[in-house]
Structure 1
Amino acid sequence: MTKRHSQKYKIDRRMGENIWGRPKSPINARPYGPGQHGQRRKGKLSDFGMQLMAKQKLKGYYGNITEKQFSRIYAEAQRRRGNTAELLIGLLESRLDAVVYRAKFVPTVFAARQFVNHGHVKVNGRKVNIPSYVCKPGDVIEVRDRSRSMALVLEALQSPERDVPDYIDLDPKAMKATYARIPEFAEVPYPVKMEPNLVVEFYSS
């Protein structure tokens, strides 16, 4: 299991954006980078700098994905036939922890990873505790019976902070979600602008 050693919301401040769209993000109050040099005026980014920023933002959005894991996902997207940027987003959104987050079973992507790791989720009736498990269209993801009374789950499902996207069919009472289809990039409800085309350029350069 990977562990984020730095505070997760430092990513927001480093990027200068509230990448998860959460009300308590520190970027809402301190719109500058972390650390003693955070308030220095930033110079114009080079093309490489913009590509790197796009990659770091997309990778950071999905929580504790390591550089090695992310580059492996990119390599798989590149291997498949089609638009690499679209395929990359589709693979990221097909991760079990991402589906659990999109279904609003938990409040954050970080909580989704832990929730899956701790064995609270079933896929097609079987317990799966691997956050990187790749869901396929038609897979049914549900909260295990013994976990359905957890305050974390109940509060997340009732939260108005996020909407469930169209490619997830949710039955909130049964705490079941069907991964209906692999989404296109335009369907994914990112709170900020993501640029997977720049990520492709980063790995291609």
Structure 2
Amino acid sequence: MTKRQNAKYKINRRLGVNLWGRAKSPINARDYGPGEHGQRKRKPTDYGLQLMAKQKLKGYYGNVSESQFYRYYEEAVRRRGDTSENLIGLLERRLDAVVYRAKFAPTVFAARQFVNHGLITVNGRRVTIPSYLVKEGDVIEPTDRAKQFAVILEANQQAERDVPDYIGVDGDKLRVTLVRTPKLADVPYPVQMEPNLVVEYYSR
């Protein structure tokens, strides 16, 4: 098991949810936290609920760093409209998130790695920054070399998840367009996300 995959499963165990809806997740067999006290159930405080909501959202997008996640919150506050919806829109526009949604990668961690390694292009230009914010109308696809990789072809055929309708798929299935910035209700999270609690956490 790779270090990254191990870290991913630790996130699931710690949060007590199958964060990405993966059949391989150990939480499917052991739905409690790690360690000798993992099975103890305590009623969480309001702060605890807010913290858990933040950790779930951070973890889902590949365990985004705290400083970067807080910057997304600040930007969401600065924009007009509902702060929690703005936050989701910013996270979903991350290039690694779009690559994962487009089924170019089996996990969001793999999507980040593909971007880092220069295997993804935006409007025909190679981008190596996973946090790059995709704009509506941008065309995202793997490089010509990457389109031959078995891991990308296999991920594209995965039946575990579908490409959401805010991402338009071209005929060959290995080129997509961000049609619009999604709202919370549009995003196919396997578990309930509560960005409103995240906003409460940071606005304390």
Task: Report deviation, 1:64.
Answer: 3.4
Q: CA deviation at 1:6?
A: 6.4
1:50-69 aligned at under 5 Å gives the runs 50-69=49-68
Corresponding residue for 1:160?
A: 159
What is the aligned partner in structure 2 of residue 20 from structure 1? 20
Aligned residue identity for 2:63: N
- Code of the residue aligned with 1:14 in structure 2: it is R
- Assess, with a 3 A threshold, how the Cα gap between structure 1 residues 120 and 107 changes in structure 2: closer, same or farther: same
Q: Does 1:29 align with 2:38?
A: no
Structure 1 position 16, deviation (Å)? 1.2
- Matched residues in 2 for 1:146 and 1:4: separation? 24
Q: 1:172 to 1:25 in 2, by over 3 A?
A: farther
C-alpha distance in 2, partners of 1:139/1:155?
A: 24
Instruction: Please give the per-residue CA displacement for 1:4-28, whole angstroms capped at 9, x wherever unaligned.
Output: 6962111111111101000000000
What are the superposed Cα offsets for residues 70-106 of structure 1, whole Å, 9 maximum, x if unpaired? 0011111011111000000000000000000000000
Q: Contact 1:98 / 1:112 at 8 angstroms: preserved in 2? A: yes
Q: Are the counterparts in 2 of residues 4 and 64 from structure 1 also a CA contact under 8 Å? A: no
Counterpart residue number, 1:173: 172
> What is the CA RMSD across the aligned residues, in angstroms?
1.4
Pair 1:190–1:204, CA change in 2 (3 A): same
* Residues paired across the two proteins, number: 202
More displaced, 57-66 or 170-179?
170-179
Give me the whole-angstrom Cα distance separating, in 2, the residues matched to 1:183 and 1:14.
28
Cα contact 1:20–1:190 (8 A) shared by 2: yes
8 Å contact from structure 1 (residues 170, 176) kept in 2: yes
Identity across the alignment (%): 69
Name 1:145's counterpart in structure 2. Answer: 144
Q: Is the 8 A contact 1:55 1:199 kept in 2?
A: yes
Matched letter for residue 159 of structure 2: P
Change (3 A) 1:175 1:201: same
Q: Distance in 2 between matches of 1:14 and 1:168?
A: 31
The aligned residue for residue 102 of structure 2 is 103
Per-residue CA deviations over 1:138-197 (Å, capped at 9, x if unaligned) read 000011001111111010001101000000011262510001100011000000000000
Could you list the runs of 5+ residues in structure 2 that have no partner in the other structure?
none
Extract unaligned runs of 5+ from structure 1: none
The whole-number CA distance in structure 2 between the counterparts of 1:90 and 1:136 is 11
Q: CA deviation at 1:60?
A: 0.3
Native 8 Å contact 1:157 1:172 kept in 2:
no
What does residue 8 of structure 2 align with?
8
